[in-house]
């Protein structure tokens, strides 16, 4: 996906009635709950809804309930389906919230979590591990390091090369340059080791595993990035009116932008490390949330977290059931949904600027 156009000045969001936000939270939370239950119930081997709900209740402290599930169904639920659904929810929430953070920083509705070389850096280092080290367990760690490294490289390049001291336009261009360079390196490595192309492509297209260890692997980074981004909702609202106005309100625009970029990039790196390159979540979800609840980032960020989780759980459900017993890469599913949506957002953005 090509890089977004230079950021346009933000326009004031239309006010929403007071009742809209509580309704938006309730609808989003209910949608997430429904997607989670569907993800646990549906599959090649179906599990009764009642049994799933009772089994989950039975896991609560001081509660005992007979689910009626067989040992095979019980193992399938808690060892395969539940970790996969939880991981999909975490990855989707991180990508959507990171997308909202990037869009707030760059004041551009087309910005997404793969700016600043995060995805390209993750893809390059993951490819190196697959080709050279050939240790599958090291792929998430390598992807995480590559994503962080790509962001740091792009940010450093933007700071040193830009006359505006690393402003939004310079950072965007630096990210595009770094991503192009790292993607070229990745393509070179792939051509050198063509016998491992299938494994590389399967990672690039994205996929959610069914392993609790991956959930615990990214949990600390997910919590830190989510807390930082949620705490900066008001700051993003202030930045949306311009740096001069933000300074007048006592906000250090440069420092705030750096903190938010770091938190969004950490969220992206964590998601990429365990899910591969899953595109469009960071564009589709925040834009839909703005249509539902308005443009204030104090609302957009938490709702994007919930809606992103629901979106990717549902996308993963489609990926593993549409061609059952075969499985689609989840990145293909999100692209089918996200590409037309991205075009629609692009057209709406251009019309608003003219």
pLDDT in tens, 271-292: 888 888 888 899 889 988 988 8
Closest listed residue to residue 314, CA positions, set 73, 12, 104, 41 = 41
**Contact between residue 311 and residue 281 where contact means Cβ atoms under 8 Å apart:** yes
Residue 163 has pLDDT above 90, yes or no: no
The pLDDT assigned to 160 comes to: 79
In this structure, what token pair is assigned to residue 331? 């990145």
Decide if 56 contacts 62 (C-beta within 8 A): no
Is the pLDDT assigned to residue 167 strictly greater than 70? no
Structure confidence at residue 8 (pLDDT): 47
Segment 5-18 mean pLDDT: 49
pLDDT in tens, 239-272: 888 777 777 777 888 888 889 988 988 898 888 8
CATH topology of domain 20-353: ABC transporter involved in vitamin B12 uptake, BtuC (1.10.3470)
Residue 345 CA to residue 341 CA, distance in Å, equals: 6
| Dist. CA 193–CA 179, nearest whole Å | 21
Q: Phi and psi (nearest 5°) for 10?
A: -70, 145
Nearest to 277 by CA among 192, 187, 208: 208
User: How many other CB atoms sit within 10 Å of the CB of residue 175?
Assistant: 28
| Confidence check: pLDDT of 135 > 90 | no
The pairs formed by 138-144 with CB atoms below 8 angstroms and a separation of 24 or more are 139/203, 140/214, 140/217, 140/273, 140/274, 141/273, 143/269, 143/272, 143/273, 143/276, 144/221, 144/269, 144/270, 144/272, 144/273
9 pLDDT higher than 70: no
Best CA proximity match to 28, nearest among 268, 219, 301: 301
pLDDT of residue 17: 55
The ranges assigned to domains in the chain are: 20-353
Using CB atoms within 10 A of its CB, is residue 58 exposed (0-12), middle (13-18) or buried (19+)?
A: middle
Three-state DSSP class for 221?
helix
Global pTM value: 0.84
The whole-number pLDDT of residue 41 equals: 93
Mean pLDDT of 169-180: 81
Segment 179-199 mean pLDDT: 78
- Compute the average pLDDT of residues 43-48: 83
**Among the ranges 17-21, 140-144, 229-233, which has the highest mean pLDDT value?**
229-233
Q: How large a percentage of the chain has pLDDT more than 90?
A: 27
Question: What is the per-residue pLDDT for 7?
Answer: 47
Query: Over the stretch 97-126, which tens digit does the pLDDT of each residue have?
Result: 999 998 888 887 777 887 778 888 888 888
CB 230 within 8 A of CB 304: no
The more confidently predicted of residues 241 and 3 is 241
- Phi/psi zone of residue 107: left (φ > 0), alpha (ψ -120 to 50 degrees), beta? left
User: How does pLDDT run across 51-78, given as a tens digit for each residue?
Assistant: 999 999 988 888 888 888 888 989 999 9
DSSP-derived secondary structure for 241-291: T-HHHHHHTT--HHHHHHHHHHHHHHHHHHHHHHH----SHHHHHHHHHHH
């Amino acid at each position: 996906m090509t890089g977004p156009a230079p950021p346009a000045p933000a326009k004031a969001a239309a006010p929403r009635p007071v009742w809209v936000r509580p309704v938006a939270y309730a609808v989003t939370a209910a949608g997430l709950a429904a997607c989670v239950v569907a993800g646990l119930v549906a599959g090649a081997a179906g599990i009764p809804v009642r049994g799933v709900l009772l089994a989950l209740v039975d896991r609560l402290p001081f509660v005992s309930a007979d689910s009626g599930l067989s040992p095979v169904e019980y193992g399938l639920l808690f060892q395969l389906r539940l970790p996969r659904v939880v991981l999909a929810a975490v990855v989707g929430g991180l990508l959507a919230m990171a997308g909202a953070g990037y869009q707030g920083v760059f004041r551009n509705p087309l910005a997404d979590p793969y700016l600043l070389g995060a995805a390209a850096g993750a893809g390059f280092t993951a490819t190196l591990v697959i080709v050279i080290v050939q240790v599958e367990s090291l792929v998430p760690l390598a992807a995480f390091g590559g994503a962080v490294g790509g962001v740091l490289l792009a940010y450093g390049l933007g700071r040193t090369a830009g006359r505006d001291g690393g402003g939004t336009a310079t950072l965007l261009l630096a990210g595009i340059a770094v991503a192009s360079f790292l993607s070229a390196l990745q393509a070179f490595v792939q051509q050198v080791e063509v016998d491992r192309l299938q494994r590389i492509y399967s990672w690039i297209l994205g996929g959610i595993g069914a392993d609790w260890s991956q959930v615990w692997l990214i949990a600390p980074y997910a919590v830190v990035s989510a807390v930082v981004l949620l705490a900066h909702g008001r700051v993003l609202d202030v930045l949306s009116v311009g740096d001069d106005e933000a300074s007048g309100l006592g906000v250090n625009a440069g420092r705030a932008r750096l903190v938010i970029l770091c938190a969004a990039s950490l969220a992206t790196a964590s998601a990429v490390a365990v899910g591969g390159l899953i595109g469009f979540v960071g564009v589709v979800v925040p834009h839909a949330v703005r249509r539902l609840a308005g443009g204030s980032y104090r609302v957009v960020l938490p709702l994007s977290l919930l809606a992103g989780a629901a979106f990717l759980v549902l996308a993963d459900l489609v990926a593993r059931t549409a061609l059952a017993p075969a499985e689609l890469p989840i990145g293909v599913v999100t692209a089918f949904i996200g590409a037309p949506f991205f075009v629609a957002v692009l057209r709406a953005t251009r019309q608003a600027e003219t």
